Amino acid sequence: MFTNKTRIRIHYALTDQMGVVYHGHYAQFYEIGRTEAFRSLGYIYKDIEAMGIILPVVDIHSKFLRPAKYDDLITVTTTLREIPLHHKIVFHSEIHNEQNELLNVGDVTLYFMQAAGMKKINMPDELKEKLKKYF
Amino acid sequence: MFTNKTRIRIHYALTDQMGVVYHGHYAQFYEIGRTEAFRSLGYIYKDIEAMGIILPVVDIHSKFLRPAKYDDLITVTTTLREIPLHHKIVFHSEIHNEQNELLNVGDVTLYFMQAAGMKKINMPDELKEKLKKYF
Amino acid sequence: MFTNKTRIRIHYALTDQMGVVYHGHYAQFYEIGRTEAFRSLGYIYKDIEAMGIILPVVDIHSKFLRPAKYDDLITVTTTLREIPLHHKIVFHSEIHNEQNELLNVGDVTLYFMQAAGMKKINMPDELKEKLKKYF
Amino acid sequence: MFTNKTRIRIHYALTDQMGVVYHGHYAQFYEIGRTEAFRSLGYIYKDIEAMGIILPVVDIHSKFLRPAKYDDLITVTTTLREIPLHHKIVFHSEIHNEQNELLNVGDVTLYFMQAAGMKKINMPDELKEKLKKYF
């Protein structure tokens, strides 16, 4: 299992008039979480794109348990539960506030694809190698 | 079954550097769709809030089939498949482009709650009455 | 003088916890306004980009007089006060609510540029021709 | 002169299909910058709101010199050039990338206001005291 923790401070733009973070913004928190998870492996998502590989999101499932609020310092815990065998990678995200209350749970599925031609491809071997030590 | 169709023009702010609509923005499209669905029933969401009732989102499941692109005029079809019995309401959204290709499918679950005290409540009877003729 | 009016419905995502539209979102309203102004001339901004021309924003000045609120149907009035002589184009935007109160005034300056090489270019002659009848 | 520096990592959601940060998002960078400037004074903006004081933005002027790009780690330098005498406070923001290139300059004017009644008020004395040592 490979896990990474990233912290995000909630700024005003993310709130809505219910006085909480707008539900649509959690997808950004998952994005930041998995980018930092890649970075902690020495893998910059920007470099993956420079190699002609893109990772479009194909499925998101979010559960909203408690609201995040303005100025909260939330922690996004991003977990890869298994090494992807083929083109599909699933990140599991849990978001907690500073009181360690679980606010939100999200599962995001992405595909590895060749940007040119938009063909599904397997996860690059180099990335698979880096992940192996965690499993 | 109660259904409403709403059209949204994709502006630049919604695109990302993959050249498509950023996946996190679809939650806004569902929101616009269900607001217009309420409006078509003569029910303004703003007025619901003024009555002290809020509808927080508790669950979203999105499937991304094809990307929406800049300047696309997308159609959000919002469907209520059953009259809510209690505090829970589920909207099913399908998003098509002008070529009538299905781009995205989303299911959004919200709870009817009393803003004061954050207590779950049943769907207001008046709204239930308005929905009855569709079922 | 060339003027276009476009209407935008404020959805929940645009509000913040002050109960009004977040100030940072007005740039999007100006963008929608000038895109629709171009469209009314028979000029689709998407087609300009397809010709290898981009229009980056180089300057924005916004004045916030009154807040826009959730569910407001605002009108963006976009005006071109003079035909651009060279690479620079300035759009003046005024935003009113349904009570015809002036909410916001914005001036947005953009440059016509060749995407390849990022070189400033003059406004395309074809667009200049279309504008002439308004001046 | 009072100055604070804050760093922000550009995530995917902030980019647009020009391959750069969408111009409308810089207002958020200024917001984050001035919030952290307040925090460095021991002043949490959230606490100001809890005291019944709000700080609506009344004017923004932005100049866009070079684009910020995906995954850039930008530095927002927020400067208060003078202690506000009355209700008006002006923050000057400069944004640099990791190569120390100046990307953007912004001036944001806000008013101190009593939330109840929306009346302009002077900057709170306590905050004025904290600022004095910098001038």
Listed by number, the residues of chain C in 40-69 with a beta carbon closer than 8 Å to a beta carbon of chain B are: 44-46
pLDDT at C103: 98
Rg (alpha carbons) of chain C, rounded to whole number? 16
Q: CA B36 to CA B55: how far, in whole Å?
A: 15
User: Which ranges of chain B have pLDDT less than 70?
Assistant: none
Sheet holding B119-120, edge to edge: B53-54, B113-114, B119-120
Residue type, C77: T
Judged by CB atoms closer than 8 Å, whether chains meet at A27 and B27 is answered as yes
Nearest to C15 by CA among D59, B69, A70: A70
Topology classification of domain A2-132: Thiol Ester Dehydrase; Chain A (3.10.129)
CA-nearest residue to B27 within chain A is: A24
d(CA D32, CA D27): 9
Nearest by CB to residue C12, choosing from A12, A16, A70, is A16
The pLDDT tens digits for C59-99 are 999 999 999 999 999 999 999 999 998 999 999 999 999 99
Show residues of chain C in contact with D57, CB under 8 Å: 23, 64
pLDDT, position A129: 92
Polymer length in residues for chain D:
135
- Tokens describing residue C107: 């001036």
The confidence score (pLDDT) of residue A122 equals: 96
**Residues of D annotated as catalytic (active site), given as ranges:** 16
Residue A126 makes CB contacts below 8 A (sequence gap 6+) with none
Say whether B128 sits in a helix, a strand or coil: helix
Nearest beta carbon to residue D23 from set C20, C25, C60? C60
Task: Please give the Cα distance from B56 to B110 (Å, whole number).
Answer: 5
CA-based nearest residue in chain A for residue C23 = A13
CA distance D25 to A18: 22
Q: Identify the pLDDT of residue C25.
A: 98
User: Of the listed C16, C47, C59, C71, which one is catalytic?
Assistant: C16
- Closest B-chain CA to C24: B13
Give which of A31, A64, A66 to mutate to test B binding, by max B Cβ within 10 Å.
A64
B11:C70 CB<8 A: no
In angstroms, the separation between the Cα of residue B34 and the nearest Cα of chain C is 11
- CA distances A68 to B88, D24, D27, Å, are 21, 24, 22
User: Distance from CA of residue B102 to its chain's centroid?
Assistant: 16
Alpha helices in A6-95 (DSSP H): 26-40, 45-50
**C-beta of residue A16 within 8 angstroms of C-beta of residue C16:** yes
To probe the interface with A, which of C10, C14, C17 has the most A CB atoms within 10 Å?
C17
pLDDT tens across the length of chain D (135 residues): 999 999 999 999 999 999 999 999 999 999 999 999 999 999 899 999 999 999 999 999 999 999 999 999 999 999 999 999 899 999 999 999 999 999 999 999 999 999 999 999 999 998 999 999 999
Chain position carrying tokens 């208060």: D80
Contact flag D19-B17 (C-beta cutoff 8 Å)? yes
Closest approach of chain B CAs to the CA of C13, in angstroms? Answer: 7
State pTM to two decimals: 0.97
- What residues of chain C lie within 8 A of the CB of D61, using their CB? 59-62
Q: Is C45 in contact with B11 (Cβ distance < 8 A)?
A: no
Q: Give C26→chain D minimum CA distance, Å.
A: 8
The rounded percent of chain C whose pLDDT value lies above 70 is 100
Quote the CA–CA distance of C101 and C103 in Å, as a whole number: 6
B36 in reach of chain A (CB within 8 A): no
Yes or no, beta carbons of A46 and D71 under 8 Å apart: yes
CA-based nearest distance C40→chain A, Å: 32
ipTM: 0.95
The dihedrals phi and psi of C107, each to the nearest 5 degrees, come to: -120, 125
The pLDDT of residue B44: 93
Cβ <8 Å between D62 and C64:
no
Would you call D13 and A35 a contact, using CB atoms and an 8 Å cutoff?
Answer: no
Residues of chain D in contact with residue A46, where contact means CB-CB under 8 angstroms, are: 70-71
User: Does D13 contact A28 at a Cβ distance shorter than 8 Å?
Assistant: yes
Tens-of-pLDDT digits for all 135 residues of chain A? 999 999 999 999 999 999 999 999 999 999 999 999 999 999 899 999 999 999 999 999 999 999 999 999 999 999 999 999 899 999 999 999 999 999 999 999 999 999 999 999 999 998 999 999 999
B16 has a chain D CB within 8 A of its CB:
yes
Subunits adjacent to chain C (3 or more Cβ pairs under 8 Å): A, B, D
